[in-house]
Amino acid sequence: MTDEQATTISTAPLLVVDELSCEAEGKAILKGISLTVNAGELHAIMGPNGSGKSTLANVLLGNPGYKVTSGTIHFKGQDVTNLSSDVRAKLGMFLAFQYPEEIPGVPLSQFLRQAISARRQTDVSVLEVRVQIRDWLLRLGMDPSFAERHLNDGFSGGEKKRNEILQMALLEPEIAVLDETDSGLDIDGLRAVARGVEEVRKTRKDLGVIIVTHYRRILDELTPDHVHVLVDGTIVASGGDELASRLEDEGYESWRH
C-alpha cells in the first residue's frame, strides 16, 4: 500500500453506502440506498414493517440470502460489497441480530474466545478472554455466571439482546449495526441495552453505530446524530432527532409513496 493510499483510507468515512440495491428470490427490496457514517456517529434507520430495514442490516454484513444488484458498500475506504460475512467481521464490522440464535452445548466463553481470535487473527488465551468477559459483565451490569452459560440457550429476550452488546464490547468492531435491538423488550430491558451501548461507545469513541428500529423509544435513551426514514426500500428523508419526534407524532403514512 502506498502512503497516498494509506492516507485516503485513514481519512475516509467509516462507511459509505452508494446507490445500493438488492433483491431476494427475484424480488427487489432495497432501491438505491445511499448512506454515509463517520467515526463516532450514531445513525437511526426508522421505518414501518416491510420497508427493508432488516434487509439493509443484513446486506451491510454480507448475508448471502440477498443479492446486491447495483451500488457499493465501502468500509474504511475499502470496497466490501462482494466480501463474505466472516471477512467483513474480521475487518471490524458487527451485526447484532434481531433474533439471536440459541446454540446449546457451546459455552458463551468458548464462543467468544473463538470469535475474538478470529477478529484479531491471532490465538487469544482462555485466561485473557475470561478476564475481559468478567470486566465487561461488571460494566454492563450483568451476572458473572452469565459467562458459564451456553450461547443464548434458555436466555430471556432481554438477556439475548444484552449478550449481543457483550459480544460487541469484546469484539471491538469499528462499526456496529443493531437490528431492532429494542424489539420485544420491556422498558427496563430497553434501558439496560441502551446503557450497554453507551458504555461501549464511551470506551470506543470512534465506534460508528447504526440502530435499526420501528419506534422512537430507544432513541429516548440513545440520542442519534442522524435519523433516516426508510420506506419501500428507499430513504425518503434524513434529519436529526427532531425527525424521530415527527415520526412519533405523525406515523409513517405521510412518507408512503
Q: Say if residue 174 is exposed, middle or buried (CB neighbours under 10 Å; 0-12, 13-18, 19+).
A: middle
Residue 112, phi-psi category: left (phi > 0), alpha (psi -120 to 50), beta (remainder): alpha
- Cα–Cα dist 208/114, whole Å: 24
Q: Is the pLDDT of residue 209 over 80?
A: yes
Q: What does the domain layout of the chain look like in residue ranges?
A: 12-255
Q: Say if residue 36 is exposed, middle or buried (CB neighbours under 10 Å; 0-12, 13-18, 19+).
A: middle
Mean pLDDT of 84-98: 92
- Cα–Cα dist 155/226, whole Å: 32
Mean pLDDT of 147-159: 76
131/185: higher pLDDT: 131
- Cα–Cα dist 155/166, whole Å: 14
Which cell goes with 174? 469499528
Mean pLDDT of 212-216: 86
Q: 4-13, 14-23, 30-39, 225-234 — which is least confidently predicted? A: 4-13
Give the highest mean pLDDT range of 51-65, 106-120, 127-141: 51-65
Angle between helices 108-120 and 157-171 (to 10 degrees): 30
CB atoms within 10 A of CB 125: 10
12/32: higher pLDDT: 32
- Proportion of the chain above pLDDT 90, given as a percent: 55
| Mean pLDDT score of the chain | 88
pLDDT attached to residue 229 = 95
Tell me the fold of 12-255. Answer: Rossmann fold (3.40.50)
pLDDT attached to residue 151 = 74
Q: Say if residue 200 is exposed, middle or buried (CB neighbours under 10 Å; 0-12, 13-18, 19+).
A: buried
Q: How far is CA 183 from the centre of its chain?
A: 14
- Cα–Cα dist 21/24, whole Å: 11
Q: 49: which DSSP letter?
A: T
- Cα–Cα dist 22/56, whole Å: 9
42/193: higher pLDDT: 42
- Cα–Cα dist 43/52, whole Å: 16
Q: Is the pLDDT of residue 24 over 90?
A: yes
